[in-house]
Structure formats: structure tokens, C-alpha cells
Amino acid sequence: MRRWLLRGILLLLFTVLALLGWALWALYYPISLPAAGVTVPIRLGASVDVSMRALQREGLLPSPMLFRLLWQIDGRPPLRAGLYVFRGRVGMAAVLSVLRSGKSQPLTFTIIPGMDLQQVYQRLRSSPYLEHGGLPPPAQLPHFLGGLADAHGSAEGCLLPQSYRYVPGEPAITLLRQAAQGMTLELTRAWQGRAADLPLRNVYQALILASIVQREGAPLAQQERIAAVFLNRLQAGMPLQSDPTVIYALGKAYTGHLQPQQMQVPSPYNTYLHAGLPPTPIAMPSLQALQAVLHPAPSSDLYFIAKGSEYHYSKGFTEHQQQIQRYLQPSTKQ
């Protein structure tokens, strides 16, 4: 009897050890992946079951039951959201370790200086793995952002141009709120350190003018002097006469070249027809453009023209016309 009992115990022990060995082998034995590797998005807020199914679909969990057991033994750590790329040979234990650490491939959404709100939305919608379900239409965005955008009924210009990191499943509105908060913070700092005697009543006017300077497309070295031209015009009560404001007013009607009749488009954004600033910014200005407006070059210029990378400034209309003839009109020489 004792012999049969001993045999039974040994058989049970052997079975347990065999199962344990198999489990360890299954967990730690590296799986060969395709040459291109495997990319798995683990979405923000996804349950462990949903995350495991995503991993299983890509062949990373030969035994989901063992993976779950290891996860439980490990204290049920959160499987962090991210875009994970696995290459070469990898075991299930290594997969769990990577997901615990959150060492994922970075995803970034970038607002480029000079983008308008419609272009920001287009880029958002083309950004992979973002959650667009709660993204409001552009006209309703100010209510979701609050601050300057809500106060003036427009989110144009109120988003700080820079790159924002996100993980799969991140709501797109979260990135826009981060961008709005960043712009508010930078605006407040810049406004507090502004130069004296600027013809700007508040920080929103500075934002509007900075967007115009940005859309003029001048290199950074020219922005302070261009800002001075516009500020001098505001001080003198002259129309800004900025082509980018007309282009903004035209919207989709602009096809890449301003026609003479388009310069008369009836819009409060047409700074050829209306003196002063337009009602809102026309794009997302960079911090450099904002600093140029708040710290313009010492100048009494009222006009400028651009020919390629060259900029020419003048203090009066006659000189301005002469520069147009010299630099912009084609030569009549035969």
C-alpha cells in the first residue's frame, strides 16, 4: 500500500514539475516574429481582456491563460496604453514586462506655426490612433476650451504651435485643451513683459497681430521689423493692408493667387477695406511672432515689400512706390 502511495506521490510531483516546466517554457521561450516586427496599439482605458485580445491577434500570446496567470501573480499591474513595437524574438513574460514599463513608440501631434483652425482639424483627423468621437465641430470648440477662445467666440489663434505626445485612444479634444492652456500661459508671460506704448489694448489684440505677422511668412530675422510696420499703421489709424487677412476672408475661394477683384471681398477680415485689426486671429502664431509684436524693432516704417528672401522697407508712400517699381515690376529694357 505504501509503495502505491509513494508511486502516486511521485507521479503527482512529476506531473506538477512537468506542468511547471511547460508553463515556464511557454512564458519565457522567445517567439520568432516576422522580419518587419509586430505593432500593437494598447488603447487608453482598455481592459486587460481587450489588451490581451489585441496581443493575441498579433501572435504574441500563444497561451493567454498563462499570460493572465503571470499577470495575476505579478500583482495585476496596469498594462499601460501605448503603441508597442516588438521585433526579433520575444516571450510572453517579456511582453508583460514591456507593457508594465510603458516603453512604447511615441506618437506626436504637431501644430505648425501659421496653421489655421481648419488645418489643425485636418491634421487631427489624419493622426493615427487618436479618438475623434468627442471632437466638437470647430464652431463649438471655444466652449470646450474656455479662456480666450470662449470669451471671443473663436478658437482661431488660441492653440500653441508645438508637438504634443499622445497614446492610442487619447481623445483629440485633450490635445486641443493642452494646446489652449499652453497658449494662455505663454501669452500671459509675454504680455507682462511687453514693450511700453504699444497701440494694443489687450493680450487678444497682440495675438491677432502676431497671427498676421506669422502668416506674412517672413523669416524670424524680419518679423520684428514687419511687426513694427503694422504697429506704426495701427498707431496712425491706417489700414494694415495685409494680403494674408484677405486670403483668410476668401477661405476656399482662394486658389493660390490673389486676383484684383478679390481684394474687395466684403469681410471684416479684409484689412484693405477696414482699418484696425480683424475680429480674430487668422492662424496659430509662434512664440517668436508674438515676441516680435510685443517687442518690435525701433522703426518708423509704414510699408514693406518682399522679393524672395529680400525685404525692403519705406517710411512714405512715394518711396514705397519707387521700391515696387525697382524690385517687383519687370524690367522694360529690350
pLDDT at residue 56 tops 80: yes
Same domain, 143 and 265: no
123 with 225, same domain? no
pLDDT for res 25: 42
Q: Is residue 236 part of a domain?
A: yes
Q: What stretch of H or E contains 5?
A: helix 2-28
What distances in angstroms separate CA 160 from CA 12, 217, 294, one per listed residue? 66, 17, 17
Specify whether 124 is located in the same domain as 181: yes
Distance, CA of 280 to CA of 114 (rounded, Å): 14
> Is pLDDT at 28 greater than 60 in this prediction?
no
pLDDT, position 330: 64
Whether residues 172 and 259 share a domain: the answer is no
Model pLDDT, residue 95: 92
Instruction: Give the structural domain span for 178.
Output: 107-189
Per-residue pLDDT, averaged over 180-184, amounts to 97
The CATH number of whichever domain residue 49 belongs to comes to 3.30.1490.480
SS (H, E, C) 137-172: CHHHHHHHHCHHHHHHCCCCCCCCCCEEEECCCCEH
Domain boundary among 73, 101, 129: 101
Is residue 81 one of the residues assigned to a domain? yes
Determine, yes or no, domain membership for 5.
no
Same domain? For 150 and 263 the reply is no
Domain total for the chain?
3
- With contact defined as beta carbons under 8 Å apart, do 69 and 92 qualify? no
- The answer to the question of residue 10 being in a domain is no
Residue where a domain terminates, one of 139, 171, 189: 189
- Evaluate whether residue 138 is within a structural domain: yes
Inside any domain, residue 224: yes
Residue 172 counted as domain residue:
yes
Q: Give residue 258's pLDDT.
A: 87
The verdict on 65 and 113 lying in the same domain is no
Q: DSSP state, 298?
A: S
Residue 229 and residue 166 share a domain: no
* Mean pLDDT computed over 61-65: 88
282 and 204 in a common domain: yes
Asked if residue 307 and residue 219 are part of one domain, the reply reads yes
Instruction: Mark whether 256 and 165 lie in a shared domain.
Output: no
pLDDT in tens, 188-245: 999 999 999 999 999 999 999 999 999 999 899 999 999 999 999 999 999 999 999 9
| The model's pTM | 0.86
Regarding whether 258 and 153 lie in a shared domain, the answer is no
- Comparing CA positions, the residue from 207, 211, 200 lying closest to residue 148 is 207
Extract the C-alpha cell encoding 249.
476672408
pLDDT (tens digit per residue) in 256-290: 888 888 999 999 999 999 999 999 999 999 999 99
